[in-house]
Amino acid sequence: MSGTPVVEPMHNIIIASRESALAMWQARDIQQRLAASCPQTRVSIRGMTTQGDRILDRALDKIGGKGLFVKELEAALMAGSADIAVHSMKDVPMTLPPGLEIAVITEREDPRDAFVSNRYDSLDVLPAGSRIGTSSLRRESQLRARFPLLVVEPLRGNVQTRLKKLDDGNYAAIILAAAGLKRLGLADRITAMLTPDESLPAPGQGAVGIECRVERAELIAILRPLNHEPTAACVRAERALSRALSGSCQLPLGAFAQSEGEKIRLRGLVASRDGVQLVRAELTGDARDPEALGIELAARLKAQGAARILAELAP
């Protein structure tokens, strides 16, 4: 008789995670979900410090990009000292090492950027010359395009560190991902939300992914109930767009998809760092083939001028 295959419980699952407060929140969330769905399995977290966490005095685009936040975790997976790694999907490089895959993407938190300030209600009222902090070239280029008289400066560190720098008076305002603030119980620090038209999010922003080795079929079967298909399809479209544009932390690139029933609406953006050149496009396509949608929108962006911008940004 055929039927639903029985998923055998595992005795232990070790989660590799960065040790920042936000990363550990995400890892504990996955730990709790797995404990609920697999009560016979002991789920533990192995906290790790990545190179991206250690180097805080230089912008990410100067030291190798967001992949520095995941390399040590992926090494633990390959070595067998961890079973899964939990990541913010916006930190995951567009091409994974051979033998690894993102097995699950959980339901997305708010994907938008948040404006945080102790003195001003919105970006529009910041006086000329105000210092605004961000860690992202994507945010920087969009800020410079809309507000060329603001002074945009690098801002590294975890969420709490960035908020302290604001509170210490180093910046008039900072831009952070809304998802991180909400997950850490800091939603009250959000002064204003930025719409995707004001600041197009990064590919995967607000989504959490679970990475593991491709051959771990029994583990992937256990993880599968945590997958949120609408979120996964949207993130796959965003990542396909970014991959087709050679997207990385070194490029000012935004990609944001929204599920609309059987369709996905995908928006993309490529800009020069100074915001002078900025190309936007959007496309709606079949949710069953999100990668094709991302690739097609990337081609449209290139045809509208993104290829020239990317060539000028190339080292």
Does 104 have pLDDT greater than 70? Answer: yes
To the query of whether residue 167 is one of the catalytic residues in this protein, the response is no
| The Cα angle at residue 241 between residues 256 and 53, in degrees rounded to 5 | 75
Summarised one tens digit per residue, pLDDT across range 33-79 is 999 999 999 999 999 976 544 444 444 444 444 456 688 899 999 99
Q: Which pLDDT does position 231 carry in this prediction?
A: 98
**Which of 149, 203, 150 minimizes the C-alpha distance to 175?**
150
The pTM for the full model equals 0.90
d(CA 213, CA 239): 20
Phi and psi, residue 162, nearest 5°: -65, -40
Give residue 294's pLDDT band: very low, low, confident or very high (50, 70, 90).
very high
Q: Which pLDDT does position 1 carry in this prediction?
A: 41
Count of beta carbons in the 10 Å neighbourhood of residue 150: 19
- Looking at residues 95-110, what average pLDDT do you find? 96
Summarised one tens digit per residue, pLDDT across range 12-38 is 999 999 999 999 999 999 999 999 999
**Which H or E run contains 36?**
helix 21-37
**Catalytic choice (61, 91, 110, 113):** 91
Q: Which pLDDT does position 54 carry in this prediction?
A: 47
Give residue 248's pLDDT band: very low, low, confident or very high (50, 70, 90).
low
Structural domains of the chain, ranges and CATH numbers in brackets: 1-107+207-227 (3.40.190.10), 113-194 (3.40.190.10), 229-315 (3.30.160.40)
Phi and psi, residue 13, nearest 5°: -130, 125
SS3 (DSSP) at 30: helix
